[in-house]
Structure 1
Amino acid sequence: MSKKIKQIAIYGKGGIGKSTTTSNISAALSTMGYKVMQFGCDPKSDSTNTLRGGQYIPTVLDTLRERNKVKASEVVFEGFNGIYCVEAGGPAPGVGCAGRGIITAVELMKQQKVFEELDLDIIIYDVLGDVVCGGFAVPIREGIAQHVFTVSSADFMAVYAANNLFKGIKKYSNAGGALLGGVIANSINALYSKEIIDDFVKLTNTQVVEYVPRSVTVTQSELQGKTTIEAAPKSAQAEVYRSLANKIYNHTESKVPTPLETQELREWASKWADHLLALESGEVRGVAAGV
């Protein structure tokens, strides 16, 4: 009997650091001795770049456009420390659903029993989370992923995207969809950023898995085409990523979040805006917004 492969999905607004975080989790897990596959599900097809020295790899959809039949070995590539890298890809610009690549790529892997043959311990799906459309919701809707995490900063649009994801998880939860493991709080340096995220997760009945600070070490590493785990393994930032990776791998219990309605979210954001203005003017000192 084949072993149970842990499958998780990491969502997040474009530009929030989702792929950076995912790649560092993958790299950290590989150094812990686990067999890892990172499955890029963004049409930009750059999820796995820092696992392969900054190089792009052929995507599943691009390869299928060139010929009707594709072997998994033509779209699965090894990266840092033996991590298997796959990019689902997307349709030609202006044509079709951007989520189709996920559906097609997952089916290809299943048909050719790739996950079992590679003897994987964990598969991490890196998924665009700006809009949870039918295609991008596949890892949740189809129960492909067992646990879902979202990367969010304290910026309103990142929180807005996370809240939309929560709505998608709640919608599919009664039909066997994946549940939420928690929020990966990214770019958390200022105290108020932590307070905002803490307040949001409290209101939506979830949790923060890890606070990841913004660090120049990440920028330096990515300019080399590498993860922080590879380029600066002894750095404080690498230690944060190792802690996060360990929590992700050992996570067992996820749940249905309680998303805010749009008006509730806007009112919540407005209270925090007033609080930050008062904080800047010196009227208050690091006290939560009281929402």
Structure 2
Amino acid sequence: MIKIAVYGKGGIGKSTTVSNVAAVLAGRGLKVMQIGCDPKADSTVALRHGEEMTTVLDLYREKKQGLELKDMVRTGYQGVICVEAGGPTPGLGCAGRGIITALEKLKETGAYEVYKPDVVLYDVLGDVVCGGFSMPMRKGYADKVFIITSGENMAIHAGANIAMAVENFKNRGYASLGGIILNRRNVAREEEKVQELAEDFHTQVIGTLSRSDLVAEAEEQGKTLMESFPESEMAEEYRKLADAIMEVCMEEK
């Protein structure tokens, strides 16, 4: 089982990227589980044709110890196993609590043993790398962390904070940094700035994604780009990215 956490600033395209990579891998016959670790709980919506999921945190509030694995899991496009951690009512509680609850409950209910995924993808908000938001990095969860960024200054800043967290945790047996993914916003010196970020943390830019109107068009249809436009150039970029991610992860297997 390969376990991957994808981090980045809010709005940088994590969920879009993770969902399309999940669709690529599942389309190749791998069993894929995608766990949305963002309070917005919209990580898997494109895999489920726009249908939102009840989050693990909401289910736990309702059912407490009666919460079962089947309550938390739904199936999406290409058979991707979908989970949404969720978050608190704004102003009431820690935003990372949903991640902690979700990952603990999935482990308690034997999710990984029951579904036996080949690949687990954690889609994690990276604006703040503490508390629940750092949990997917911890031992027993992700093996590798990938950071999505553009060349925008705030995205670069968030990416550096995420990379620093990975660096600070490395002596605890936590996940290691697998690389940087450039999601283009077509700003000045974009490739140069992202390459500098990679070099600062002794890693590599493993993939680059173009800015494409087809991505938004697919999401308007409530689908991943891989489902709506599988023959497009953008779909080929997601395939290449999926290959690059898997290659990095397999290097240490």
Q: Check whether TM > 0.5.
A: yes
Over 3 Å counting, the alpha-carbon distance change for 1:174 and 1:221 in structure 2 is same
Q: How does 1:194-273 map to 2 (within 5 A)?
A: 194-252=191-249
Instruction: Give the match for residue 102 of structure 2.
Output: 105
Q: Which amino acid aligns with 1:163?
A: A
2:104 and 2:28 map into 1 onto residues whose CA distance is 29
Q: State whether residues 57 and 85 of structure 2, in contact with CA within 8 Å, keep that contact through their aligned partners in structure 1.
A: yes
Structure 2 residue matching 1:136: 3-state secondary structure:
helix
Over 3 Å counting, the alpha-carbon distance change for 1:189 and 1:254 in structure 2 is farther
Structure 1 residue matching 2:182: 3-state secondary structure:
strand
Q: How does 1:1-291 map to 2 (within 5 A)?
A: 5-68=1-64, 69-187=66-184, 189=186, 192-252=189-249
1:14 and 1:28 map into 2 onto residues whose CA distance is 23
Q: Which amino acid aligns with 1:90?
A: G
Q: Deviations over 1:217-266 (max 9, x none)?
A: 101111111111010000000000011112212323799xxxxxxxxxxx
The CA deviation at 1:202 is: 1.9
Structure 2 portions without partners, runs of 5+: none
TM-score, length of structure 2 as denominator length = 0.95
Deviating above 6 A after TM superposition, structure 1's stretches of 4 or more consecutive aligned residues are: none
Q: Which amino acid aligns with 2:74?
A: F
The CA deviation at 1:182 is: 0.5
Q: Using the TM superposition, name which of 133-142 and 34-43 deviates more.
A: 133-142
Over 3 Å counting, the alpha-carbon distance change for 1:230 and 1:39 in structure 2 is same
TM-score, length of structure 1 as denominator length = 0.83
What value does the CA root-mean-square deviation take over the aligned residues? 1.6
